[in-house]
């Protein structure tokens, strides 16, 4: 399966009715985007770490792509990671998970970021420029 | 006539120390000023230092904007912020900061 399949799971959880559902949806949205970013980097010839450093690896490669859309994708990824951290670990605080509003926005962000990532994947010239910038930043 | 109200900005000691250690006080102030400009009804900005709880990464300075729920389906301030952020500041700055909205329906949490 592709990472983006998690978006459908996130959508179903978002439409459910409990705090636990909305918190879980945040995690699925984050992993959908992170895994799609990882897959793109793998297709583009990067050696992917097998450890927990994968999160940082994907975020920073997208950030240093020399492309504002990829910068946006990196930002969405970082925002979703913070949302997921709060969803999974700060369970003593109802806070933003009193409704599904925050997760709903995060899921929309993940979908929009995937469109940006797909646009780069299908544009060879742009993709090559991005790969060059990434290799320069991380020789 | 527009009524200007003071927006509370609270910065934790840890976050302030991190910004100072990075030498990015000027960029940080630019972020605060920009958030105040682009978010209608912004109630507060809370700045904290966040560590990933279950994987290895550097800590991030998290700017939480306390704001009303968006009138539209999608909150336009999210992408407006990102556009300004990535077009204004270099990756060496961006990597240390992240903004996350907190939608507050009433006047208290």
Q: What are the DSSP calls for A82-121, one per residue?
A: HHHHHHHH-TT--GGGGSSHHHHHHHHHHHHHHHHHHHHH
Percent with pLDDT over 70 in chain A: 100
Instruction: Tell me the pLDDT band of A136, cut-offs 50, 70 and 90.
Output: very high
CATH number at residue B15: 3.30.300
Domain count, chain A: 1
Which residues lie across from B101 on neighbouring strands?
A: B65
ipTM above 0.85, yes or no: yes
According to the model, what pLDDT value does residue B4 have? 54
Chain B residue with CA closest to A61: the answer is: B91
B3 is a domain residue: no
Chain B residue with CA closest to A86: the answer is: B53
Asked if A63's CB is within 8 angstroms of B94's CB, the reply is yes
Average pLDDT of the segment spanning A16-22: 96
B108 is a domain residue: no
Please tell me the distance from the alpha carbon of residue B42 to that of residue B64, in angstroms, as a whole number.
Answer: 11
Nearest neighbour of A109 by CB, restricted to B56, B78, B103: B78
Predicted structure pTM score: 0.94
B2 is a domain residue: no
pLDDT tens, residue by residue, A125-135: 999 999 999 99
Average pLDDT of the segment spanning A119-125: 96
Q: State the nearest Cα–Cα gap between B6 and chain A, in angstroms.
A: 23
Domain count, chain B: 1
B109 is a domain residue: no
Please tell me the distance from the alpha carbon of residue B60 to that of residue A70, in angstroms, as a whole number.
Answer: 19
The answer, yes or no, to whether residue A52 has pLDDT greater than 90, is no
B53 is a domain residue: yes
Instruction: Tell me the pLDDT band of A24, cut-offs 50, 70 and 90.
Output: very high
Mean pLDDT for all residues in chain A:
96
B73 is a domain residue: yes
pLDDT tens, residue by residue, A90-101: 999 888 999 999
Eight-state DSSP code of residue A65: S
Instruction: Tell me the pLDDT band of B6, cut-offs 50, 70 and 90.
Output: confident
Structural domain range at position A50: 5-137
Eight-state DSSP code of residue B106: S
pLDDT tens, residue by residue, B24-35: 999 999 999 999
Give contacts of B 89-108 with A, CB under 8 A.
91, 94-95, 98-103, 105
Structural domain range at position B75: 8-103
Instruction: Tell me the pLDDT band of B107, cut-offs 50, 70 and 90.
Output: low
Average pLDDT of the segment spanning B50-57: 84
Eight-state DSSP code of residue A49: P
pLDDT tens, residue by residue, A26-44: 999 999 999 999 999 999 9
The answer, yes or no, to whether residue B93 has pLDDT greater than 80, is yes
Contacts of B79 in chain A (CB under 8 A): 72, 112
B1 is a domain residue: no
Interface-testing mutation among A73, A79, A94, A103, with chain B (most B C-beta atoms within 10 A): A79
Measure Cα distances from A127 to A45, A61, A63, A133 in Å: 12, 13, 14, 10
According to the model, what pLDDT value does residue B2 have? 45
Asked if A82's CB is within 8 angstroms of B60's CB, the reply is yes
According to the model, what pLDDT value does residue B1 have? 43
Q: State the nearest Cα–Cα gap between A122 and chain B, in angstroms.
A: 22
Asked if A72's CB is within 8 angstroms of B79's CB, the reply is yes
The answer, yes or no, to whether residue B5 has pLDDT greater than 80, is no
B13 is a domain residue: yes
């Amino acid at each position: 399966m592709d990472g983006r399949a998690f978006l459908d799971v996130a959508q179903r959880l978002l439409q459910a009715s409990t705090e636990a559902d909305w918190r879980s949806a945040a995690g699925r949205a984050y992993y959908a985007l992170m895994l799609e970013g990882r897959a793109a980097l793998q297709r583009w010839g990067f050696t992917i770490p097998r450890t927990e450093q994968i999160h940082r690896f994907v975020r920073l490669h997208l950030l240093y792509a020399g492309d504002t859309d990829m910068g946006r994708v990196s930002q969405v990824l970082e925002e979703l990671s913070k949302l997921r951290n709060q969803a999974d670990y700060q369970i003593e605080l109802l806070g933003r998970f009193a409704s599904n509003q925050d997760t709903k926005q995060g899921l929309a962000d993940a979908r929009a970021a995937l469109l940006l990532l797909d646009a780069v994947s299908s544009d060879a010239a742009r993709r090559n420029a991005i790969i060059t910038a990434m290799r320069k930043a991380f020789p | 006539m527009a009524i200007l109200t003071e927006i509370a900005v609270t910065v934790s000691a840890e976050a302030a120390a991190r910004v100072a250690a990075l030498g990015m006080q000027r960029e940080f102030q630019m972020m605060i000023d920009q958030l105040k400009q682009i978010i209608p009804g912004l109630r507060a900005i809370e700045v904290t230092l966040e560590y990933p709880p279950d994987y290895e990464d550097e800590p991030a300075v998290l700017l939480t904007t306390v704001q009303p729920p968006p009138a539209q389906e999608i909150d336009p301030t999210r992408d407006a912020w990102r556009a300004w952020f990535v077009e204004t500041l270099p990756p060496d700055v961006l990597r240390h900061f992240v903004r996350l909205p907190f939608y507050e329906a009433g006047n208290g949490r």
